[in-house]
Homo-oligomer: A and B are copies of this chain.
Amino acid sequence: MNLKQLSEKLGLSQTTVSRALNGFPEVSESTRERVRRAAEVNQYRPNLMAKSLATGRAMAIAHIIPVFSKNDVVNPIFSEFVAGASQTYTEHGYELILTVADQKDEEKIYRSLAAKRAVDGFFVHSPLSIEPRLELLTDIGLPFVVHGRVSETTLPYSWIDMNNNSAFKQATELLLDMGHQRIGLINGPETLNFGELRRQGYETALLARGIELDSSLVYSAALPEQLGFNATKELLASANPPSAIIASSYIVALGVRRAISLAGLKIKKDVSVVIHDDVLSYFDNGGSEPQFTATRSSVREAGVRGAQMLLDIIDEPDRAPLTQLLEAQLIIGASTGPA
């Protein structure tokens, strides 16, 4: 059933029916009600393409997830973030267009989506510290929000991010408070902004206590599961092994656990920091439950809020860039001191 058929059935013009359904003020309440009811009964849904063509709004947002190599695993936090965003879009009548693209194809994809008029805005994931997409998107001219931040730029842009720096600072401080002096860090790639910030937080905390930085305690790379495993194995086998390890992601933590268990060491306590779904610190495990559910739902919440920001920008394109820094929560159990 389309507008024409519905309006004929009602003995009204398309105009009036359209106005009634879209809440225009000049329609009488009685007609509006009659139209509403008929639309309901006949399950009338405006054709999205026709509507978009007429209004110039695609009613869709694109999320572009970059993968950095052919077999790069898609970070599970995207699922949660996107799940949250999807919820917001659905509530506002928008669709979420998802494209998982090799990093080298990204520019083409952004441009193509914009030129085709297929979307009203973009969500940018996995920002680099130096981020060429910022210029690209500013050039394209459609609204966008970055999931994360870009450290080196003078371009204004909107973003939503967890406070990675402070979270890692806190996690490190916590370990220091418990008496640990040698703390390993297995970080994500430091060309990505969050990796840079996390390392900064870690170093800030150590330096504040007068502890010298020891680069042999820090690993940083992609390939997270293997990295976690190998790095931990090396750390534990070294002459002067750390008594605690901070793992920068859920996946890395898997490898850490496996290596610790293999070494015959017992984890006496897990400490989790809620940054996305990442589990940060491993040591002294007394058997407490990691808070995966809680952490996952915090990413989803970030997706909900980020999407809301983007829709706000679309509605009012000339406002100044919006930003949101979400404070990470430390989830900890009782301290038992160093192993």
Report the bound CA distance from A58 to B51 in whole Å.
Answer: 13
C-beta contact mask, A55-99 vs B, less than 8 Å → 1, else 0?
Answer: 000101000010100010111101110110011001000011111
A225 at interface by CB-CB < 8 Å = yes
A50 at interface by CB-CB < 8 Å = yes
Of the residues B83, B116, B254, contact of A65 by C-beta under 8 Å? B83
Report yes or no: A116 in contact with B264, Cβ–Cβ below 8 A: no
Chain B residues near A293 (CB-CB < 8 A): 71, 73, 223, 225-226
Q: Which 4 A-B pairs have the closest CB atoms?
A: A45-B115, A76-B76, A74-B79, A83-B100
Known interface pairs A47-B53, A73-B80, A73-B296; A266-B264 also in contact (CB < 8 Å)? yes
Of the residues B53, B257, B285, B287, contact of A53 by C-beta under 8 Å? B53
Query: Oligomeric state, in number of copies?
Result: 2
A211 at interface by CB-CB < 8 Å = no
Report yes or no: B257 in contact with A262, Cβ–Cβ below 8 A: no
Chain B residues near A97 (CB-CB < 8 A): 60, 95-98
Count chain A residues whose beta carbon lies closer than 8 angstroms to a beta carbon of B: 62
C-beta contact mask, A286-312 vs B, less than 8 Å → 1, else 0?
Answer: 010110110011000000000000000
A112 at interface by CB-CB < 8 Å = yes
C-beta contact mask, A32-51 vs B, less than 8 Å → 1, else 0?
Answer: 00000000000111111110
Report yes or no: B71 in contact with A100, Cβ–Cβ below 8 A: no
Q: Can you show 27 pairs from A to B with CB atoms below 8 A apart?
A: A43-B111, A46-B116, A49-B49, A49-B50, A53-B53, A67-B83, A71-B293, A71-B297, A73-B80, A73-B293, A73-B296, A75-B79, A83-B100, A86-B98, A86-B99, A86-B100, A90-B101, A96-B97, A96-B98, A97-B97, A223-B293, A254-B254, A257-B258, A257-B261, A261-B266, A262-B287, A264-B266
Chain B residues near A46 (CB-CB < 8 A): 116
**Measured between C-beta atoms, what is the minimum distance from A52 to chain B in Å?**
4
Chain B residues near A116 (CB-CB < 8 A): 45-48
Report the bound CA distance from A109 to B223 in whole Å.
Answer: 37
Report yes or no: B115 in contact with A289, Cβ–Cβ below 8 A: no
Chain B residues near A45 (CB-CB < 8 A): 112, 115-116
Which residue in chain B gives the minimum CB-CB distance to A62? B95
